[in-house]
Structure 1
């Protein structure tokens, strides 16, 4: 019994060390929260009618979600890493940036899962993307109220919310009827974020 407890403690400790290692690596790779220049979500493709104009794709590059997506055996460790990262980020402005990064990654992951035929899991992941985006906007408000200069972040949030909407509308046209209400719910998060940011920017 004692050996079994020691074994369990060791396994938990090893998992935490591994998660911390991934966290440190991620922080180093995403210094200043730069995104991969080689990864872009494909814009919505639509055939224009004679009276329809082609909407210009939103110029915003989404962060690469990585090879470990929801459903992968190692994904729980990735989630632990994200929670530790967020917990260690005390500055409200930086926390908002981290939340936006998580939102972008969940959006890319959800799209990839749906394209791989995992519609239910993909829709669930897209919901998390919407919630992270909402949290990023709320965190920006906290940072602004503390006297932080959030102008650059607001402009990023504006472009990000438009990109999220673009991707979600593309996905909505591909999923079955069961998933469509979930995508609509995700669009609700995105459009709320757009409204909040526009009000602050005075657009």
Structure 2
């Protein structure tokens, strides 16, 4: 073999090896892990629409979302967490309506609420005498409560109590944000 052919063969083998590693990584990332949240019962590989939690590449999207969020300065994270919360809310609704997968929809709704509660807690911990940030979070919590209240009827009866618990937690956060906003308004 000539040196050029050896280099070409080595490059081809390197590319195949790299693709193999990526394939194994994606396959491993889509496998269920031990947690109290339900895992996807099946994954699909569709294009041309939103990537929902049942998509095979969803774990990759979640990793990029998390990395992007961690790369932001703390004062810029809250709006992004709110956006992620409402993205997950839309995904939960699509899983209920289009995919008829209430178990995965509930897990996605819990993730949605987790992002919103995280943003709310950050606002309460560091209000910076900023009425505007408290009002923004109040608006987001109110919209999330409204959307969750609308979704609760779409869930089968066995899941409605879990959604009701999420609503109660959101209402508690909304009240805390309202109290904080009133306190800040009184100070200004």
TM-score (norm 2): 0.68
Q: Where does residue 169 of structure 1 map in the other structure?
A: 149
TM-score (norm 1): 0.63
1:80/1:7 Cα in 2 relative to 1: closer, same or farther (>3 Å)? same
Of residues 129, 152, 156, the one that matches 2:112 is 129
Q: Where does residue 200 of structure 1 map in the other structure?
A: 180
Question: Larger radius of gyration, structure 1 or 2?
Answer: 2
Query: Distance in 2 between the 1:70 and 1:157 partners?
Result: 26
Of residues 82, 92, 106, the one that matches 1:100 is 82
Aligned residue pairs, count: 147
Give the 5 Å matches for 1:1-203.
7=18, 11=22, 67-89=50-72, 91-116=73-98, 117-144=100-127, 147=128, 150-202=130-182
Q: Which string of whole-angstrom CA distances, capped at 9 and with x for unpartnered residues, describes residues 141-183 of structure 1?
A: 3443xx4x64322222111111111111111112111110221
Contact residue 102 and residue 129 of structure 1 kept, 8 A: yes
Query: Distance in 1 between the 2:69 and 2:126 partners?
Result: 15
Q: Which runs of 5+ in 2 are unaligned?
A: 1-13, 27-48, 184-188
From the two aligned structures, give the one with the greater helix fraction: 2
CA-atom RMSD in angstroms: 2.8
Contact residue 93 and residue 143 of structure 1 kept, 8 A: no
**Alpha-carbon shift at residue 188 of structure 1 (Å):** 2.4
Relative contact order higher in (CA < 8 Å, ≥ 6 apart): 1
1:72/1:200 Cα in 2 relative to 1: closer, same or farther (>3 Å)? same
Q: Which string of whole-angstrom CA distances, capped at 9 and with x for unpartnered residues, describes residues 49-84 of structure 1?
A: xxxxxxxxxxxxxxxxx7111111111111011110
